[in-house]
């Protein structure tokens, strides 16, 4: 699973549980058919996928909740909207002369 979102929701956790169950079922199948050791390459791939996703699950507390991610997106959009404003405001009344000091 190559999900690199900074959100770890219930749906993603359910997919991880399904991935672990599939790994366990495959180990069981290979063992019962006497092919456990021959299934090494397949099991290594499956374990690699599970390991990667388990890591993301373990560090999920550093991820944003969907609500926080949406709030951050709104703030970022609002900040980018101001980027077209000039750094120095133009004189609103260019016809007026400046008074000598």
Residue 77 has a pLDDT of 84
SS (H, E, C) the chain: CCCCCCECCHHHHHHHHHHHHHHHHHHHHHHHCCCCCCCHHHHHHHHHHHHHHHHHHHCHHHCECHHHHHHHHHHHHHHHHHHHCCCCCCCCCCCCCCCCC
Residue 80 has a pLDDT of 78
Bridge partner residues of 40 (DSSP) = none
Residue 96 has a pLDDT of 65
Walk along the chain (101 residues) in steps of 10 and give the mean pLDDT of each run: 62 95 98 96 96 89 74 83 59 65 60
Tell me the pTM.
0.56
For the chain, the structural domain boundaries read 10-83
Residue 1 tokens read as 């699973």
């Amino acid at each position: 699973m190559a999900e690199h979102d900074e959100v770890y929701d219930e749906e993603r956790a359910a997919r991880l549980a399904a991935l672990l169950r599939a790994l366990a079922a495959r180990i069981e199948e290979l063992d019962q058919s006497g092919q456990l050791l021959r299934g090494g390459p397949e099991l290594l791939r499956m374990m690699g996928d599970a390991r990667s996703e388990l890591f993301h699950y373990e560090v999920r507390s550093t991820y944003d909740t969907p609500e926080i991610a949406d709030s951050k997106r709104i703030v970022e959009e609002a900040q980018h909207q101001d980027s077209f404003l000039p750094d120095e405001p133009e004189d609103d009344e260019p016809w007026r002369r400046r008074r000598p000091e």
